[in-house]
Chains A and B, each alone.
Chain A
Amino acid sequence: MTLRQQGAAAIAVAALWAVQVDAQTAADTMPATPGRAAQGAGAYMNIGFSSLADFGWSSARDVGSLQLGDHDPKVRGFTIPNSELSLDGAVDPYFRGYANIVYKIDPEGESAFELEEAFFLTTSLPANLQLKGGQFFAEFGRQNTQHPHSWAFVDQPLVLNRMFGPDNLRGQGARVSWLLPTSWYTEAMVGVLNSNGETMFSFRTEESSEIHGGTPAETSVNGGTDLVFVPRLATSFDVGDTQSFVLGASAALGPNNSGPDASSQVYGADLYWKWKSASASAGFPFVSFQTEAMYRRYDAAERESIDDPSTTLPAEVLGDRGAYAQILWGIRPRLVAGLRGERASGNDAAFDSELRADRTRLSPNLTWYPTEFSKVRLQYNYDDRQDIGRDHSLWIQFEFLLGAHASHKF
């Protein structure tokens, strides 16, 4: 642990302690009605902790090159990809606050810490508006805003790896949302984020040579054109009592650092459908289908090759596309079978990039939830990588949840 990490951990522990003390005080001063005293225990803030452990084996020796997500299994054997402290509550009558702090152990066995999200949300703006600000997952498609604990598979979809890097599209910024006054659900959102940092992968990350093969240009935020804009429109309707559809279109538009004036545009479309029995027990049985397709146009400027500084790569348009589709079947209470198919590909360029090469993956899995607070998942991955070949992996994932009851968005 670095000094900074220790500091952060100390703050988190202190925060927990403070809440417990508050709750204790509240409980002590409450009247003797047990129900009211119990309310004191949840005072001010919900605290939850979710922890994932992966175990398995892959025919690929270098698992990290196969599993590109930051919270994917990373090595043969054990991986602790994501232990997450979630805090949320009402700040005051006007704001709600959220924080997700991730602890993980990297493939070298070192502890790492990440301020995944820390943001406020307004509660009572007029005209159906809502403002979010801080560090957060950008609202692009469906999977991008989901935390590893609510993923339906042990790993991140390939298309998200390709468009947004190992850790989804997230960063420091603000987002305004408008719930349209239509009789069916329609929400329009625009996020504005800084363009730099490792989680702004299609934009000004220092890792951008994986995309364009060149040495990243020095950049800084000077004006509006240095920011990334993330508009999204989502709509939803029910069919009868048992089926719901959610449709969305998203974009992420901003500068990249292949050169001083280069830019990227990522477009995405998503569809979610769910059927749930009218007499569902604990939410089962159900069938859901989710798919997302994305396209990125990366305008790479003329740049110096990172592998060979004597070579200049020409200005070119790098086009990448990818999609996944997954179906989940909640067979009976606590048991879910899933199947995901994925494909990602990129156009030819003046350089070779492992990340932009064609890839296909097929992943059947089976998840058993002893309760809502624990799960055991078995997943097989069939991978086919251009110029590398086929790989087979088998993973077991275990999760436990402590504290606040997890509520899930649809």
Chain B
Amino acid sequence: MMQHSMIKLATAAVIALSAMGTAFAAKLNVVATTPDLAAIAAAIGGTAVNVKALAKPTEDPHFVDAKPSHIVTLNRADVLIDGGAELELGWLPPLLESARNAKISANAPGRVVASQRIRMLEVPSSFDRSKGDVHSLGNPHFLLDPLNAKIVAAHIAEHFAKVDPKSAALYQANLRTFNATMDAKLIEWQRTLAPFKGAKIVTYHRDFPYLAERFGLEVVETLEPKPGIAPSPAHLARVITAMKGARARVILVQPYQSRKTAETVARQSGATVLDMPQQPGAVKGVTTYFDLMDSMVGKLAAALAKP
């Protein structure tokens, strides 16, 4: 009985899907683990791709649920772009195992591991979890350096062209536009932040080293005593003292980090808390990578300019 109705349901589903398949056959199905990778993929793919991000822009990308709906998304993907460097280690492997999609398996043309061509920062020399949840391949928040975003964009364009050669020219043209915009924007961002070279900032997690390195800022403290370890009162007291000594007046937090903790520290150290979501889509109107960096650079400059 059960088998019969299952077969009927399945047949109906196959018919429905093949109809859907014809309608969308022309576009490449691209899945990115995080919205920032999705934004770059959309810029390169343009009209030739449909892009979907698995993680929500406001959630911690280390802790995404391996929801079954993601299995379906990955099963239908032509290309998967993940950050790698263990960012998605807690949730992507079981999804890929269930998705059974050879097109996006390791080393397939349909798989882009964005960190592969990046010079990673903070690569540990030894693996020891008493130092917190350190990523053995280095800090995975590398897209905040615009030059890294260019490397990833080229990487994506190369794979898009392999998977979908007929649109290769389009991807190349989009990459050129992306790079040209980036070059112009980078000069503008560097000019905006130039007066604050050497400024000392504090972050909640170790998630801004790439931004700091590119724009000459110095991350003097993190509210987390060690990566992934919740702040303790003793550590925060130390941070407050250090911030006063170093004249660090800005604390950067993301939507999923405790703003309350940051505010407490800010109050006692005379600093201001700056909401700095790293993912496009977390704030209305911020959809592209350029929007994201514009917004971040603008906020940073305004906060650092305060007397």
Contacts and interface: CB of A to CB of B under 8 A. Distances in A.
B90 A185 contact: no
Contact of A408 (B90, B228, B256, B257): B90
B105 A42 contact: no
B75 interface: yes
B59 A179 contact: no
Contact of B258 (A184, A281, A407): A281
A231 to B, nearest CB: 7
A123 interface: yes
Interface string B88-113: 01111110011110100110000000
B17 interface: yes
Contacts of B86: 405
Contact of B90 (A121, A179, A276, A406): A406
B90 A372 contact: yes
B69 A236 contact: yes
Interface in A118-140: 121-125, 128-130
B228 A371 contact: yes
Nearest to A46: B93
B230 interface: yes
Contact of A283 (B17, B63, B85, B136): B63
Contacts of B91: 407-408
Interface string B136-171: 111000000000000000000000000000000000
Contacts of B13: 180-182, 186
Interface stretch (B26-34, B120-128, B239-247): B120-128
A244 B65 contact: yes
B65 A274 contact: yes
Given A35-B137, A183-B20, A407-B94, A123 B100 contact: yes
Contacts of B90: 372, 405-408
A184 B72 contact: yes
A180 B56 CA distance: 25
A287 interface: no
Given A123-B102, A244-B65, A407-B89, A181 B258 contact: no
A184 B85 CA distance: 30
Contact of A280 (B63, B89, B98): B63
A188 interface: yes
Given A34-B123, A333-B230, A188 B6 contact: yes
B259 to A, nearest CB: 10
B58 interface: yes
Contacts of B99: 179
A236 B230 contact: no
B191 interface: no
Contacts of A278: 56, 58-59
Nearest to B136: A38
Interface in A28-65: 34-35, 38-39, 41-42
Contact of B123 (A38, A181, A244, A274): A38
A281 B61 CA distance: 9
B304 interface: no
A39 B133 contact: no
Nearest to B106: A90
Contacts of A244: 65, 67-69
Interface in B1-20: 2-3, 6, 9-10, 13-14, 16-17, 20
A124 B137 contact: no
A93 B108 CA distance: 11
A233 B6 contact: yes
Interface string B225-266: 000111000000000000000000000000111100000000
B42 interface: no
Contacts of A39: 137
Contact of B60 (A237, A281, A406, A408): A281
Nearest to A406: B90
Contact of A409 (B14, B94, B136, B255): B94
Nearest to A242: B56
Contact of A179 (B2, B14, B66, B75): B75
A283 B65 contact: yes
A241 interface: yes
A267 to B, nearest CB: 10
Contacts of B228: 282, 371-372
Interface string A232-266: 01101110010010100001000000000000000
Of the listed residues B16, B71, B72, B89, the one surrounded by the most CB atoms of chain A closer than 10 A to its CB is B72
B139 to A, nearest CB: 10
Contacts of B16: 182-183
A222 interface: no
Contacts of A283: 60, 63, 65
Given A179-B71, A408-B66, A125 B100 contact: yes
B63 A282 contact: yes
A238 to B, nearest CB: 5
A246 B86 CA distance: 27
Contacts of A178: 10
Contacts of B258: 281, 333
B284 interface: no
A333 B258 CA distance: 10
Contacts of A406: 90
B94 A408 contact: yes
A95 to B, nearest CB: 12
B299 interface: no
Contacts of B133: 371-372
A238 B67 contact: yes
A297 interface: no
A44 B3 CA distance: 39
Nearest to A251: B2
A276 B56 CA distance: 11
A90 B96 CA distance: 12
B105 A123 contact: yes
A17 interface: no
Given A39-B137, A371-B228, A410-B65, A281 B256 contact: yes
Give the 3 A-B residue pairs with the shortest CB-CB distance, closest first: A236-B68, A185-B68, A283-B63
28 contacts: A35-B138, A38-B136, A38-B137, A42-B136, A124-B100, A124-B105, A179-B71, A179-B99, A183-B16, A183-B20, A234-B68, A236-B67, A241-B56, A246-B68, A274-B65, A278-B58, A280-B60, A280-B256, A281-B60, A281-B257, A282-B62, A333-B258, A371-B229, A372-B90, A405-B89, A407-B94, A408-B66, A408-B91
Given A182-B13, A182-B17, 7 more contacts: A38-B127, A123-B100, A233-B6, A244-B65, A280-B256, A281-B258, A409-B94
